[in-house]
Amino acid sequence: MSARWPSQTWVELVPRGWEGSEWLGAFYPPDLPPDWRLAYFANEFPAVLVPAERWLGADHGLDELAAQLPEGLRCYLELSGADWAARPWLPAAERLGARLAGLVATDAAGTAEPGAGVPFFLLAERPQPGWAPARLIPPDSAGGLRAQRRWLEDLAACAPGATTLVVVEGPDATPEALRRWWGLARLLGLA
| pLDDT tens for each residue of 15-57 | 999 988 888 888 999 999 998 999 999 999 999 999 988 888 6
Contact in structure between 68 and 39 (CB atoms under 8 Å) = yes
Q: Residue 10: give its domain's CATH number.
A: 3.20.20
Alpha carbon distance, N-terminus to C-terminus of the chain: 13
Domains of the chain: total: 1
| pLDDT tens for each residue of 150-170 | 988 888 887 767 788 999 887
| pLDDT tens for each residue of 97-145 | 889 998 898 776 555 565 557 788 888 877 677 778 888 888 655 678 8
Summary mean pLDDT of the chain: 81
CB neighbour list of residue 8: distance below 8 Å, 6 or more residues apart: none
Count other Cβ atoms within 10 Å, centred on residue 32. 13
Q: Could you tell me the residue range of the domain that residue 27 belongs to?
A: 2-187
